[in-house]
Amino acid sequence: MNEEVYEPAEDSELLLGAIQVKKGERVVEIGSGTGILSVKAAKLGGVVLSIDLNPFATEATLCTAKLNGVSLEVVNCDMFTCIRDKYWDVAIFNPPYLPVSEYRSWIEYSWSGGDRGVEVLLRFLNVVRAKRVYILYSSLDDEESVMGAINSNNYIITRKEKKYIGFEELIALELNDKGSTSRA
């Protein structure tokens, strides 16, 4: 694997266990990294679009898909900037969540969540439109801002899973759009 791509770790594992996709659901993963979350979604029957800002990560996602015998669309861009507005069945994002702003190399984008650790996640929550969303954040982050963004964007928490790593707690959430039953 390229040293500029984030290797799956405890956060990836936590989200991997949380993701539920039904056959035929339209899935988008933002920040695909190696592509393991997209591959799982595809193996569960999802029609998957993987997006990553890091060109090395999009290449890694393609390789992971090929090695696992699944078909994915993979795009190199910043979040949703390269696609038209679309309402997804499922959106997945394992965001950078460390409270740092380091952007000297591609790999640093994978952990730099901004000064409060949630700036990238908040940006995602403000633009994503999906029936179901899977995200992750850290106990080191500004949880109040995350909960505010979830609420103000019409999502409710339907499932929460936690994993402790030393002094840090990782929290994976499944969110549902409050209005998903009224959308086509």
pLDDT digits (tens, 9 = 90+) for 44-63: 999 999 999 999 999 999 99
Average pLDDT of the segment spanning 115-137? 94
* Whole-number percent of the chain with pLDDT over 90: 72
How many folded domains does the chain comprise? 1
Q: Is residue 4 part of a domain?
A: no
Q: What is the span of the domain harbouring residue 143?
A: 24-182
Q: Assign residue 160 the CATH number of its domain.
A: 3.40.50.150
Cβ neighbors of 121 (< 8 A, separation 6 or more) are 93, 95, 97, 113, 135, 137, 141, 146, 149
Q: Is residue 12 part of a domain?
A: no
* Whole-number percent of the chain with pLDDT over 70: 97
Q: Which pLDDT value is given to residue 183?
A: 43
For residue 31, which phi and psi values (nearest 5 degrees)?
A: 70, 55
Flag whether pLDDT at 182 surpasses 70: no
Q: Is residue 5 part of a domain?
A: no
177: alpha, beta or left, given left = phi > 0 and alpha = psi -120 to 50?
beta
pLDDT band of 112, cuts 50, 70, 90? confident
